[in-house]
Amino acid sequence: MLAKKMQDALNEQVRIEAESSQVYLAMASWAEIQPGVDNITAFFYRHSDEERMHMLKLIHFINERGGFAVVPALPQPNLTFPSLHHAFKQLLEHEIFVSESINKLVDIALQEKDYATHNFLQWYVAEQIEEEALARTINDKLELIGDDKGGLYLLDRDILNVSVTGGGTME
Ligand code: FEO
């Protein structure tokens, strides 16, 4: 059985993952109307789907442990971006925020001596390492590319080979 404090904290994470999914869905929709970035668009859509999967995994866990997962209300995310680089900077900042939130959950699990939840959360800890690393790599590339359209073309081609979950690296 989940302690109330643990359950509330996990439900807050449900909200954060749902919000992440919406934030990246908005990036995907905006990217879709920009020229020449079809694969980057697909990356954002896929990332949004993965965040929804993170949310669902939490919902099932809370309910299976005798709690009640609360489906949250969400604010409207940013709809437009000054540039692709701005969108990816926001993505990186958002992932850093998510990592901090997961770390807080791990702290609470330890305080509560809830080792089942602690064990469950390790998947998220590992996932955040990958997501942050990938977001940093893409931001570094966009920094180098600047206004070079050829560079953007190559990034859009290379991003086909990366996936947020389960690795795939960009050299
Ligand atoms: Fe589920 Fe990207 O945090």
Dist. CA 123 → ligand 1 center (Å) = 11
Pocket residues: Cβ below 6 A from ligand 1: 17, 20, 51, 54, 95, 98, 131
The residue extents of the domains of the chain are 4-161
Residue of 167 and 106 predicted with greater confidence = 106
Dist. CA 50 → ligand 1 center (Å) = 8
Closest Cα to residue 2, out of 13, 81, 52?
Answer: 13
**159 Cβ neighbours under 8 A, 6+ residues apart:** 39, 40, 43, 138, 170
Taking 60 as the threshold, does the pLDDT of residue 13 lie above it? yes
Mean pLDDT of 132-147: 94
How do residues 57-97 score in pLDDT, each as one tens digit?
A: 999 999 999 999 999 999 999 999 999 999 999 999 999 99
For the chain, percent of residues with pLDDT exceeding 70: 95
Rounded CA separation 154/145 (Å): 10
Mean pLDDT of 115-125: 98
Rounded CA separation 47/163 (Å): 8
What's the pLDDT at 167? 45
Q: Which fold has domain 4-161?
A: Ferritin (1.20.1260)
CB 116, CB 72: distance < 8 Å: no
Number of neighbouring beta carbons within 10 Å of residue 47: 25
Dist. CA 143 → ligand 1 center (Å) = 23
How do residues 145-170 score in pLDDT, each as one tens digit?
A: 998 889 999 999 999 877 555 444 55
Mean pLDDT of 31-35: 97
Dist. CA 84 → ligand 1 center (Å) = 19
State the number of CA atoms in the 13 A half-sphere of 91 facing the CB.
30
Taking 90 as the threshold, does the pLDDT of residue 123 lie above it? yes
Dist. CA 36 → ligand 1 center (Å) = 26
Give the residue, by CA position, lying nearest to ligand 1 atom 1: 51
Rounded CA separation 13/133 (Å): 21
Give the residue, by CA position, lying nearest to ligand 1 atom 2: 95
Please, what is the average pLDDT of the chain?
94
What's the pLDDT at 164? 52
Give the CA dihedral 82, 15, 134, 26, nearest 10 degrees: -30
DSSP, res 84: H
Taking 90 as the threshold, does the pLDDT of residue 4 lie above it? yes
